[in-house]
Amino acid sequence: MKKLVIGNWKMNPATLDDAKKIIKKTRSIASKLNHTDVVACPPFVYIQSAISKRDPNTLKVGAQFVSYEDGGPHTGEVSATMLRDMGVKYVIAGHSEERARGDTDDMVARRVKAIVESGMNAVLCVGEKARDEGGVYLETLKDQIKNSLANIPQSCAKNIVLAYEPIWAIGAKEAMIPDQVYEMSLFVKKVFSDVFNQDQAMKVAVLYGGSVNFRNAAEIIKTGQVDGLLVGRESVNMPGFVELLKAVDSIT
């Protein structure tokens, strides 16, 4: 299975011209990779410019957010149907920044359901705010995962990607220690197995996110034994992101 690297641009860059430059460079390096799939998740206003009708599989395009409503009087919202119709393949749900703005597990679950039932892939972000010696954070994380997957049909499990992002590591100087990444990847797969089944858990892709850069990417994947990375700020830093993708693709 190919490794998966998803770039979450967040609210960057400031102009369409800069967005086009980032897309061009990202697509160029993605076309040269043999063992890695790349997904770019720009802001809504740049999605159309990122999608190539001539070669849509070289670089897949995702969205950072979606409404759980299918249509109607919801000013400012964008539905899963709209995104799918544009050619979007992946949608992030449950990112810590959205949870901090008020998204509950129930709301995240409804977003995930809208994404997968529309035929796209949901990138479900989960992660603890802090760690405690007693391990209470594991129970908190387990509840978060289970609640965020509530009412998702078994048949849609194949369209879910788990992105483990410990909140305390996002934007930090250092990423999580790769050995700990491995432990947590096993944990989130176990919880996924509890929600669906062991067969689905063996197939689900688990990504790591949180202070990932070209220096630590390969070791996180090799030692952490994750299936890929969810990259934030580094995904719009072209020199660094290009080196990160090369490092990931070199792992066999």
At residue 54 the predicted structure's pLDDT band, cuts being 50, 70 and 90, is: confident
Strands 205-208 and 228-231: parallel
Structural domain total, the chain: 1
**Token digits for 16?**
């369409």
Exposed / middle / buried, residue 91 (Cβ in 10 Å: 0-12, 13-18, 19+): buried
Q: Which of 69, 95, 98, 133 is catalytic?
A: 95
Q: How many percent of the chain have pLDDT more than 70? A: 100
Percent of the chain residues topping a pLDDT of 90: 91
How do residues 6-48 score in pLDDT, each as one tens digit? 999 999 999 999 999 999 999 999 999 999 999 999 999 999 9
**Can you give the CATH number for the domain in which 149 is found?**
3.20.20.70
Q: How far apart are CA 116 and CA 153, in angstroms?
A: 9
Structure tokens given for 242: 């290009």
What pTM was computed for the model?
A: 0.96
Closest CA to 114 of 77, 80, 153: 80
pLDDT in tens, 151-175: 999 999 999 999 999 998 888 888 8
Catalytic residue among 69, 117, 165, 234: 165
164 and 185 Cβ atoms separated by less than 8 Å: yes
Residue 69 annotated to the active site: no
Range of the domain at 192: 3-249
Nearest CA-CA partner of 65 in 20, 107, 19? 107
Instruction: Give the C-alpha distances (Å, rounded to integers) separating 100 from 16, 40, 129.
Output: 28, 23, 11
CA distance 194 to 141: 13
Active site residue 165: yes
What is the dihedral angle through the alpha carbons of 154, 160, 161, 166, rounded to the nearest 10 degrees?
A: -80
